[in-house]
Amino acid sequence: MSRPVLVLIALGSGGLLTLMVLCNSTVTAQAGPVWGSLVPHATGTVAAVLALAVLGRVRGEGTAPGWAYLGGLLGALTVMLSSVAANTALALSGTLALGLVGQAGFGLAADRWGLLGMPRRRATWRDLLSLGLILGGSALLIFGAPR
Amino acid sequence: MIAPILMAVGAGVLIGLSRQVNGRLSLTKGALGASFWNHLVGFLALVLAALGLWMRAGGPLLPAGLGEVPAFAWAGGTLGVVFVASGSWLVSRLGAASTAMLVIAGQMVSGALIDTLRGAEGAPLRALGVAVILAGVALRSKG
């Protein structure tokens, strides 16, 4: 698949995330943070089973290591960490901004060293400039938002 | 102040780490299969967390507010399945940094769009932020 198509899919995935956060924070407002994460995980499990039944299962090569099944634990932990941090002096904006820094830093390290069995990639100067622009623009949106 | 900062940065690191882990699983199980395992394992962990909280605090097992959740909000899990599947699929094709930065860009720009549609204040600064982000996306769009 060509790179511009992959880029569009990634942007669309981010748009999906906005809608997902809107849904899940609405559940959290009514039922608290644990249920705000439990409800989408429960309905998501059912949705994934239905989708696999309709679309069929994919069988790749070899077997996955045991730790590869534990991504869901990290997701559940993320919800708890960020909701605790958002209730400190950092507030939601500071938590969001620092979370973006964490994502960027991890992404660079993961590519540089090929962490967790994924391919290695060296970041070019163009990649780093792009990273700076996206983080900078995000900071403008996060800290410039009316509150 | 150090602890909250570490937690907030740590949450971002965990987002990347879980995408990387799910990406590895998708090589064997497919992107949708990885998304299924992500949701099932997270669900089981959260059930344990909810039971633990209930045993400590007592009260009703299901929070009273659950019945008040508007219908649209129940779609979050289905959106999450597509989100996790797409992230697992993208990370093995674009790499971790590009996937993270482009998903962030999509999230930020769509959020700004929703704010604008809602008539929130601060439109000029928002437009500037979106323009800077899109410049960053354009730089990353060439092979």
- pLDDT, one tens digit per residue, over B97-132 is 999 999 999 999 999 998 888 888 888 899 999 999
For residue B71, being part of any structural domain is answered with no
If you average pLDDT over every residue of chain B, what do you get?
Answer: 92
For residue B68, being part of any structural domain is answered with no
Residues of A in contact with B57 (CB under 8 A): none
Domain count, chain B: 1
For residue B43, being part of any structural domain is answered with yes
For residue B69, being part of any structural domain is answered with no
Mean pLDDT computed over B5-31: 93
Cα A65 to Cα A13: distance, rounded to the nearest angstrom: 26
Q: Which of A66, A107, A83 is nearest to B41 (CA)?
A: A66
For residue B70, being part of any structural domain is answered with no
Mean pLDDT computed over B6-31: 93
- CA closest to B16 among chain A residues: A103
- Substitution target in B13, B35, B82 with the highest count of A β-carbons within 10 Å is B13
- Comparing CB atoms, the residue among A55, A62, A85 nearest residue B32 is A55
Q: Distance (Å) from the C-alpha of residue A31 to the closest C-alpha of chain B? A: 5
For residue B81, being part of any structural domain is answered with yes
User: In the structure, what pLDDT confidence band is assigned to residue B88 with cuts at 50, 70 and 90?
Assistant: very high
CA distances from B101 to A38, A64, A131, B87, B131 (A): 27, 27, 7, 12, 15
- Write out the two tokens for A115: 């962490």
Quick check: B109 and A67 CB within 8 A? no
Q: Which value, to the nearest 10 degrees, does the dihedral of the CA atoms of residues B107, B110, B116, B122 take?
A: 30
For residue B117, being part of any structural domain is answered with yes
Higher model confidence: residue B100 or residue A60? B100
Where in the sequence is the domain holding B38, given as residue range(s)? Answer: 2-63+76-140
Cα B75 to Cα A47: distance, rounded to the nearest angstrom: 10
Quick check: A132 and B22 CB within 8 A? no
Asked if the model's pLDDT at residue A147 lies above 70, the reply is no
Report pLDDT for B57: 84
**Cβ proximity of B66 and A42 under 8 Å:** no
Report pLDDT for B60: 82
For residue B28, being part of any structural domain is answered with yes
Q: Which of A34, A33, A27, A50 is nearest to B74 (CA)?
A: A27
- Substitution target in B54, B125, B133, B142 with the highest count of A β-carbons within 10 Å is B133
- Comparing CB atoms, the residue among B30, B49, B100 nearest residue A34 is B49
**Cβ proximity of B21 and A76 under 8 Å:** no
